[in-house]
Amino acid sequence: MTKTSAGNFFEDFRLGQTIRHATPRTITGGDVALYTALFGGRFAVQSSAAFAKAIGYPDWPVDDLLVFHIVFGKTVPDVSLNAVANLGYAGMQFLAPVFPGDTISASSDVIGLKENSNRKTGIVYVRTRGVKQDGTTVLEYVRWVMVRKRNEAAPAPGERVPRLPTVVEPKLLGTACPPINVKAYDFALAGSLHRFGDYQVGEKIDHVDGITVEEAEHQTATRLYQNTARIHFDQFSAAQGRFGRRLIYGGHVISLARALSFNGLANAFHIAAINGGRHVAPLFAGATVFAWSEVLAKSEVPGRDDVGALRLRTVATKDRPCADFPDKAGEEYDPSVLLDLDCWALAPRRA
């Protein structure tokens, strides 16, 4: 019997099973600096402890997406080492802020299983939670992936397709954001005068800038998250695969798009929820990523007059500036599109 883990195959999962993932991870100012160096984000709350504390945070919050990537990374060895495809996310809620010094671990419940008709693969639905050292849940989301069977003849381990929300309800937003003292929110320092009230549903924003991705950069980022999916790191094996080269972690595109979105959304300082996301096309090193966003909806956050929620659709492209908002026609995407992400971000309201 081997001591080496080959990951789980479709028939290894069980409905109702809870998987506790290795490895706990203490996040420090080192991770914050590296994340800045990898993506160049400029949101004031995540860049400045002084700014964050002035507006009401008890301490300097770690970027929401860094927390997500670290939690996601932990699930890879157990959930998606034998994945054929990452199919989607739903109901991702950021539930509590994470501060430097916090240690994050993760577990996943298997909430759905569905064998494919070819009997070679099946879809696994997991609800993953990231938890702090004190037991606080900081992040929760559902993810579904298509996983290979080890043995095609094995019986399906169960069948249930969970009902998933297409959008996180506004009443669930904002628990990771303390009450904000908007009078202390310095809009010049934050980089924009535009508040929640200044955005209109249907408004589209070109984020203008582009960032070219190098192999060393996406590998460094993805290792920072202790994500072990070999397709991101192993050129020897990738050379023999479908693409012939290393595939960049989809989350890298999400973080690039978020960093670019500062230009136009500087005060959308906190991602409160991700409603869903689609990795439309793969990204490889050498390409330049651009992005644009559309305001899909606006909502009050029940019980709060400090912040409002913008539902943003952010589209990232490769080698294609976004002044004309490359999009999809029906189900057919513009060939430049990499990512189509739907999230709720919080922005300060007029005091």
- Name the minimum Å distance from CB 171 to its own copies: 27
Query: Torsion angle of alpha carbons 36, 37, 41, 42, nearest 10°?
Result: 80
Q: In angstroms, rounded to a whole number, what is the distance separating the alpha carbons of residues 125 and 269?
A: 30
Q: Which of 16, 151, 188, 330 binds its own copies (CB under 8 A)?
A: 188
Min CB(66)–its own copies separation in Å: 11
Interface positions, 51-80, toward its own copies (CB under 8 A): 51, 60, 77
Is 344 one of the binding residues for its own copies (CB under 8 A)?
Answer: no
Among 17, 116, 175, 288, binds its own copies (CB under 8 A): 288
Judged by CB under 8 A, the stretch of 36-44, 146-154, 175-183, 337-345 that binds its own copies is 36-44
Q: Rounded distance, CA 317 to CA 260, Å?
A: 12
- Which residues does 212 contact at the CB level (< 8 Å), separation at least 6? 286, 287, 288, 289
Taking CB under 8 A as the rule, which mask of x and - marks residues 87-116 in contact with its own copies? -------------xx-x-x-----------
**Residue 211 binding its own copies, by CB under 8 A:** yes
181 touches its own copies (CB under 8 A): no
52: three-class secondary structure by DSSP: helix
Residue 299 binds its own copies (CB under 8 A):
no
Minimum Å distance from CB 199 to its own copies? Answer: 8
8, 79 in Cβ contact below 8 A?
A: yes
Which helix (DSSP H) or strand (DSSP E) does residue 128 occupy? strand 121-132
- 112-171 residues in contact with its own copies (CB under 8 A) are 133
CB atoms within 10 A of CB 153: 7
Q: Which of 26, 136, 137, 181 binds its own copies (CB under 8 A)?
A: 26
Measured at the CA of 77, the angle between CA 227 and CA 122, to 5 degrees, comes to: 120
DSSP code of 275? E
Give the span between the Cα atoms of 135 and 2, in whole angstroms: 33
214-273: contacts with its own copies (CB under 8 A) = 214-217, 219-224, 226, 228, 230, 233-237, 246, 263-266
Provide, rounded to whole angstroms, the least separation between the CB of residue 289 and its own copies.
9
Q: Which is nearer to its own copies, 143 or 195 (CB)?
A: 195
